[in-house]
Copies of this chain bind each other. A is one copy, B any other.
Amino acid sequence: MSPSQQVANQSPPRAVVLLSGGLDSATVLAIATARGYECHTMSFDYGQRHRAELDAAEKLAKTLGAKTHRVMNMDMRAIGGSALTDNSIDVPVSGVDENEIPITYVPARNTVFLSYALGLAEVLEADNVFIGVNAVDYSGYPDCRPEYIAAFESMANLATKAGVEGHRMHIQTPLIDLTKAQIIQQGLVNGVDYSLTVSCYQADDLGRACGVCDSCRLRKQGFSDAGVVDPTLYQS
């Protein structure tokens, strides 16, 4: 039974939604809300270059009706190894090579994010965690693949008190098989204002995008393929 089919006077089921402030996770939040979940959003301040996305996440949580929003402070810089957290590595602007894992990959990032979400879900007695991974446009990231998500879900159900007591935890990935254009179409149907989202790996303090990094290129192409005017604010 989907939550929206439940009788009206039951309280809605809770979900934890990972919200980066980007296009994908904003769409996920809108989808989870449309499906009837009471959404609790979680963002991460992990020393990323593109800090404007944290402001974007806060705005999106409000406009898309999240019940609570949390920013977790963490320390990916102490681990290093990615252009997104290590200032000595340049953000690439030359396009995605489908046979290589991009240098913007942050080691174990989705695993860390999902682990925190799992902890919060347990405290809130939420049986669902939503994450905006996508295996189509970002196939270079190992932790965006369906087999990875399935393995995380199996582990999660052994990790927690809730799992031991018989509550199944579900990791929901509503975007996993969608193209960027399809994601944008889903978001527009569910009321996402994409001018509030920040996807750029090196956005400025005002959230304006560079227009040339891999993330900007994929996003631009998505709006073009969807036949929708691109509302992104660019630096020039």
| Residues of chain A whose beta carbon lies under 8 Å from any beta carbon of chain B | 70, 72-76, 78-81, 101, 105-112, 114-116, 118-120, 122-123, 142-143, 145, 147-148, 151-152, 154-156, 158-161, 163-164
Contacts and interface: CB of A to CB of B under 8 A. Distances in A.
A206 to B, nearest CB: 27
12 contacts: A72-B74, A72-B78, A81-B119, A107-B118, A108-B119, A109-B119, A111-B119, A112-B119, A142-B164, A148-B155, A151-B154, A151-B158
Given A122-B107, A160-B142, A116 B79 contact: yes
Query: How many copies of this chain sit in the oligomeric assembly?
Result: 2
A112 to B, nearest CB: 4
B111 A159 contact: yes
Contacts of A158: 142-143, 145, 147-148, 151
Contacts of A107: 118-120, 122-123, 160-161
Contacts of A76: 119
A8 to B, nearest CB: 30
A144 to B, nearest CB: 10
A79 B119 contact: yes
Contacts of A79: 116, 119-120, 123
Contacts of A105: 161
